[in-house]
Structure 1
């Protein structure tokens, strides 16, 4: 197993045992995300993609296999602050300002936010929210709240960034704008990124590799390399080669 800043799952199995039938969430899941790469996990509901991410974060146990996040077991990586997380629900604390929401992971790790004023200000600027430092979440749009969530995920200077449908609640136009923004933020952070998404175009636009999963049992079916140069721009969405790759992912996804 590599001691690097990547994400490595080796032959991971996970079955949820219920009162009725057991659900085999993951069968022999292998995933290698090289340091500094961007990987998208895509698949139907129930294919285990969110379970795989929860295992990688140390939020869920697994039955067998091996998991290393930046060279460490998942729980140790999370405790050391080397992982950042942004979920679909921005989950901001409504009584805290933008700046104090971004500082939250520092407090969880027992670090003094007062020493991170410069980093917080830099991240607020990076996600395009300068001037909103003292705003409360209720005063922000959905897209702005999601930017706060992404800034919060980066405050510990993570080597690995996990995102589960971060823009799932936004309309397609806003989502595409946010994808361009996210790419810029990720390139600047130099972290290894893993994105769980239902959106084929989002996966193809953002990722170096699109990992396609099927359900029952949850397993990896194919890994499709995305060759487009970075930074990728909005025009890519209308390029024929972009649509050809989206079609290829769709065919694998739907088992054609």
Structure 2
């Protein structure tokens, strides 16, 4: 009998509220979701629907008021301390006084691992994200897209089992964003890291994910979960295919339709 592999991410009954001076805002309510090992799940929704709040809860940077989150059976904080969790945000947050290679080395140094910026593993990872030759460059010398590539490489440097991405390409122009979507798919296909992406980009979610979790706001909640019908690997030409356009229209209607 084949052993059942438990989910890498298990979210059960999660809610989070914030109290202001005059009222309480429900940022999230009744979030239930399991993400299987090697699965790529995108949370899709407009600003204010709780995507970033949920990601912070998944990273252990914040705590839910109710419910539980487990990453491979551990609390997010415990899991993060092992180095098995990679995280990238919309702001690359690279240290401006450290070279690209030294920025990548930082998570390993925090974990107490012996590493040098010139180590082959770091150079190989920079080559994988298209930054070969920029090891010694400072963040201020890079374009926005290159800084996001460096941030993605830094999220991968600890060889994580789970990768959490919060609008990592949201501030980029459409051309650069699409190029990085293609790059991220290539990296995911080669490593099959369990990945959760928070995005408001419909075509981005449709191109990258196995399943798309459509979020509605006030309170932030799951409205629908949609399976992506396109087989892998996905060629960049898919962006212009009529079936892809129709699927993105379907997702748009799902975002706009009244939720449960």
If the TM-score is normalised by the length of the shorter chain, which range does it land in?
over 0.9
Q: Distance in 2 between matches of 1:113 and 1:5?
A: 32
Match of 2:140 in 1: 138
Q: Distance in 2 between matches of 1:129 and 1:173?
A: 18
Q: Distance in 2 between matches of 1:248 and 1:71?
A: 35
| Runs (5+) with no aligned partner, structure 2 | none
Aligned counterpart for 1:231 among listed residues 233, 237, 257? 233
Q: Distance in 2 between matches of 1:60 and 1:112?
A: 29
TM-score (normalised: structure 2): 0.94
Match of 2:89 in 1: 87
Q: Distance in 1 between matches of 2:118 and 2:138?
A: 20
Match of 2:9 in 1: 7
Change (3 A) 1:112 1:4: farther
Q: Deviations over 1:36-75 (max 9, x none)?
A: 1111101122111111110000011111111111221110
Q: Deviations over 1:117-158 (max 9, x none)?
A: 222111011101111111111111111111000000001110
Q: CA deviation at 1:189?
A: 2.4
RMSD over equivalenced CA pairs, Å: 1.6
SS at match of 1:81: coil
2:205 is equivalent to residue 219 of structure 1:
no
SS at match of 1:210: strand
Q: CA deviation at 1:25?
A: 0.9
Size of the aligned set, in residue pairs, is 255
| Runs (5+) with no aligned partner, structure 1 | none
Match of 1:36 in 2: 38
Q: Distance in 1 between matches of 2:226 and 2:118?
A: 39
2:153 is equivalent to residue 157 of structure 1:
no
2:72 is equivalent to residue 70 of structure 1:
yes
Match of 2:125 in 1: 123
Match of 1:189 in 2: 191
Q: Deviations over 1:232-254 (max 9, x none)?
A: 12100011111111111110101
Aligned counterpart for 2:101 among listed residues 90, 99, 102? 99
Q: CA deviation at 1:3?
A: 7.1
2:215 is equivalent to residue 209 of structure 1:
no
List structure 1 segments (4+ residues) > 4 angstroms apart after TM superposition. Answer: 2-5
TM-score (normalised: structure 1): 0.95
2:114 is equivalent to residue 112 of structure 1:
yes
